[in-house]
Amino acid sequence: MGERLRERYRDPRRHFTFEYYPWYSTDPWRHWDESGRRPPVEISASALPLLGAYDSRSARTIEQHARWIADAGVGAINLSWWGRGSYEDESTHIVMDVMRAFDIKVTFHLEPYSRERGVRFADDVLYILREYGERRRWDTLLLLEDADGGVGPIFKSFVTLLSPTTTDCLGVTRPVDIYVPDEVWRQQLARVRSEVGSDFDRITFVADSLDAPRTRAAGFDAGAVGNPYIRPDEWHGFTAPFDRADIPFSFAVNAGFDAVAPAPPPADPCYRPLAFEPPANVRWDVDGSRARAHQLSALRIGHSLERTLAHQTDPRSASWRRGFLLVPVNSFNEWHEGTAFEPMKSYGELSGAERLVYHNPTDGSYRLDILRSLLELVV
């Protein structure tokens, strides 16, 4: 498989992208204090990072991140972006400056940052292209090259093709305040293509969608989903409709899910804690049970990478026919959801009190080490 990718794509590692979150701060606390946690005594992370609670604008921290990412064989990051003037937006230049020094490209994952996101989407994409592409003379923005040699920017949107209403466990139906009609998406994407499309061979808009007809109707070029609860053995049922519609699609490489539970639990009668994934009844205070949970996560990394590449390199897939390759890795540092490949402290490094709180493994770098060993065969 690695030989096929290297023959078809000039720089395969650019097609592997870490989901990256530049939203942490320690003065004042940002994100480390979610879910009722009170840092520095306890941070909002299911496992304690090797670097501890850090500031996303610290050049030293970003340098260590970039070194780990480059060593793993990943050639790009996908920044979680929350609108112009947001903390994440204001962190972008320093992140790009450091990533450039390690030859890592940067693209953007546009989050549900406003109820008006739909009608602002084109303006925000054009802002990103000007501020982080043109203004920097395209030094770090990811311009992805497809198999045919065509080059252009790629943007992913999260929480995209929603239903206008939702019904809770009590049967109460409410409007979804961030719902965007498909026609609005289509108009916004068409406007971007109209204004700057001639500057690139293509612009690729990726939706986190499992609905092929709506993805096409809304004007998106591809689909990509990082939901770890959709297991690799189930993926074909979701990818087949996209292949029939000739829309490239990718599932993300992942190690599962281990979310921080809110403390105290919400009073909402519909609240249910999110389960550990891959499925396991874990006792974190029991060595064997904890080791088994991390073994399952390790297996998921290999299985998800194998399955997403098998699909995207299948000559029958839309991705292969269109010469499009995108392999998201979810995530580098989303600590609240326990998806991080960023190294954790090893269990033996934790204090007695920390062992009661966090789910650290025996080997804190096992996820990144596994990914590195697998990508050595591919890129």
**What CATH number is associated with residue 285?**
3.20.20.80
> What span, in angstroms and rounded, lies between the C-alpha atoms of 279 and 346?
23
Q: Which residues pair with 77 in a beta bridge?
A: 18, 106
- pLDDT at position 1 is 77
Q: Which domain holds residue 105?
A: 2-375
> What span, in angstroms and rounded, lies between the C-alpha atoms of 333 and 227?
16
- pLDDT at position 4 is 87
Q: Please give the tally of structural domains in the chain.
A: 1
Candidates 349, 377, 379; CA nearest to 363 is 349
Candidates 27, 70, 25, 43; CA nearest to 332 is 70
Q: SS3 sequence, the chain?
A: CHHHHHHHCCCHHHHEEEEECCCCEECCEECCCCCCCCCCCCCCCCCCECCCCCCCCCHHHHHHHHHHHHHHCCCEEEEEECCCCCHHHHCHHHHHHHHHHCCCEEEEEECCCCCCHHHHHHHHHHHHHHHHHHCCCCCCECEEECCCCCEEEEEEECCCCCCCEEECCCCCEEECCCCCCHHHHHHHHHHHHHHHHHHCCCCEEEECCCCHHHHHHCCCCEEEECCCCCCHHHHHHHHHHHHHCCCCEEECEECCECCCCCCCCCCCCCCCCCCCECCCCCCCCCHHHHHHHHHHHHHHHHHHHHHHHHHHCCCCCHHHHHCCCCEEEECCCCCCCCCCCCCECCHHHCCHHHHCCCCCCCCCCHHHHHHHHHHCCCC
Residues 6+ apart with CB under 8 A from 272: none
Mean pLDDT split into 10-residue runs, the chain, 379 residues: 89 97 98 97 97 98 98 98 98 98 98 96 98 98 97 97 97 97 98 97 97 98 98 98 98 98 93 96 96 98 98 97 98 98 98 97 98 95
Would you state the structure tokens that stand for residue 191, as one six-digit string?
A: 């406007």
pTM of the model: 0.97
- pLDDT at position 160 is 96
Residues 6+ apart with CB under 8 A from 160: 180, 185, 207, 208, 209, 218, 220
CA dihedral of 295, 296, 298, 302, whole degrees rounded to 10: 140
